[in-house]
Amino acid sequence: MKKETLESEKISMQSILEILSPFDVIYDKMNATERRDLIKYLIADVQLFNKAEQKVEKRFVKEITYKFPIEQEILAQFSDKEVSVETVALLERIS
């Protein structure tokens, strides 16, 4: 069901909540490599505010582009409810 939902062209708010409900339990069980790979699969691009904008906006992330289709309406609902968590991570390439 989750795979079919992700493969569909539109993802509803309810389906996102259903998919994410057990996420914290699964994420806590992942090691660092698995977590990094998950982020690579989900996120295509992250735009950050410059230092001056960060002080005004009081946050770092300007925009996140996902690798799966999600309507702007859904993203707006998250923004309207002020539901956000920002995490700053240092990613290193291990040779």
pLDDT by position in tens, the chain (length 95): 566 655 555 566 677 777 778 888 888 899 999 998 988 888 899 899 999 998 898 888 888 888 877 767 666 666 655 555 556 677 788 87
Closest of 2, 1, 16 to residue 70, by C-alpha: 16
Q: Is the dihedral of CA 14, 1, 19, 47 positive or negative?
A: negative
Answer yes or no: pTM beyond 0.75.
no
- By the 8 A CB rule, do 36 and 91 touch? yes
Residue 94's Cα: distance from chain center in Å?
Answer: 24
4 within 8 A of 15, measured Cβ to Cβ? no
Domain range summary for the chain, segments of one domain joined by +: 2-80
